[in-house]
Amino acid sequence: MSSSTSPSQAPVGLISSAASERLLTDRREEKVKTPWGTAGVLVGRIGGRDAAVVLRYGPKLVTPSHKINHRANIWALRMLGVERVISQNAIGSVNPSIQPGDIVISHDVLDRTKSRSHSLFDEEECWVRVDMTEPFCHEVRLALLEATSSLPDHVIKRGVFACTEGPRFETPAEIRSLQRDGADIVGTPLVPEVVLAREAEMCFASIAPVINYGAGMAPAVLHVGPGSMNDNYYANGLHDRIEQALIAAVQLLPQARSCSCGKALRSGFHGTRPGWLTHCSLDDAPVETGAVQPVPAVTKS
């Protein structure tokens, strides 16, 4: 696979905590060198289509959420020719009407992270300010909604995904704050994945199985052990059904994109284009340095 892959052959990207042999077949590992370091990517086939999978916590699940090299991961997928990314996020409920065992296909994001690198372009002579009116690609969301429609689980078709810094769980006061701000679910790795994918002009959407209640909504939030969030994910076949839905969603994605995600930089890029930024929408509409006009002074009436 390469960045010159034609749209109909572009591999589908998946960012997940795990990928079984049933989900990703014919797999091999590639080490992809990016401007932000080397990322390990599993390449193979999902549902009969080429796929590239990032295990965000590493193959041994020992990379905590605040230490993930998001920029290397996202750009590695881009370098492999990926145009569309599905993010699998096992998360907690903030909205009391959403219960463990439910599945949420989010439509919006609330960023409560603190110290992460939020841009691919923060060391360059440019300013990139992508539109986030629709943070998740509607085409990928539609595929996920259709793919989950036949599952026996309760699927919530819209939701606000709050992303916190971690690695600890939230406090009860923080959960109440998120509730007041309209969040439905909470997890730690979605931001800046969703932002960097937009900067890389890749489609991005999330499928989020709910595996615990937020702090204060239940006696305790446990990471491992009996009754923990991990137990909830693998009990009752939820993990297997999520993988089943991922395979179906990949198969449902149209061969070519008709959304606007692949043109995100055309309306958001200002300055000097970095050398590593190849095969993007700026090829079609070159951006001149200094293209942004100063805001006129406000005159008093």
Residues engaged in binding Zn ion (CB under 5 A): 137, 203, 259, 261
The set of residues, in sequence order, having a beta carbon less than 8 Å from that of 152 and lying 6+ positions away, is 241
Q: Which is nearer to Zn ion, 97 or 258 (CB)?
A: 258
* Residue among 4, 12, 41 nearest 257 (CA): 12
CA 99 to chain centre: 22
Q: Which is nearer to Zn ion, 172 or 254 (CB)?
A: 254
Tell me how far CA of residue 137 lies from CA of 55, 56, 221, 258, in angstroms: 21, 20, 31, 10
Tell the smallest beta-carbon distance from residue 135 to Zn ion (Å): 11
Tell the smallest beta-carbon distance from residue 194 to Zn ion (Å): 12
Q: Which is nearer to Zn ion, 130 or 229 (CB)?
A: 130
Backbone region of residue 84 per phi and psi (left: phi > 0; alpha: psi in -120 to 50; beta: other values): beta
Tell the smallest beta-carbon distance from residue 204 to Zn ion (Å): 8
Tell the smallest beta-carbon distance from residue 137 to Zn ion (Å): 3
Tell the smallest beta-carbon distance from residue 198 to Zn ion (Å): 9
Tell me how far CA of residue 225 lies from CA of 221, 222, 270, in angstroms: 11, 7, 50
Tell the smallest beta-carbon distance from residue 49 to Zn ion (Å): 16
Residues 287, 293, 295, 297, Cα dihedral to 10°: 180
Q: Which is nearer to Zn ion, 203 or 207 (CB)?
A: 203
Tell the smallest beta-carbon distance from residue 192 to Zn ion (Å): 18
Q: Which is nearer to Zn ion, 137 or 144 (CB)?
A: 137
Tell the smallest beta-carbon distance from residue 301 to Zn ion (Å): 43
Q: Which is nearer to Zn ion, 70 or 198 (CB)?
A: 198
Q: Which is nearer to Zn ion, 203 or 249 (CB)?
A: 203
Q: Which is nearer to Zn ion, 154 or 266 (CB)?
A: 266
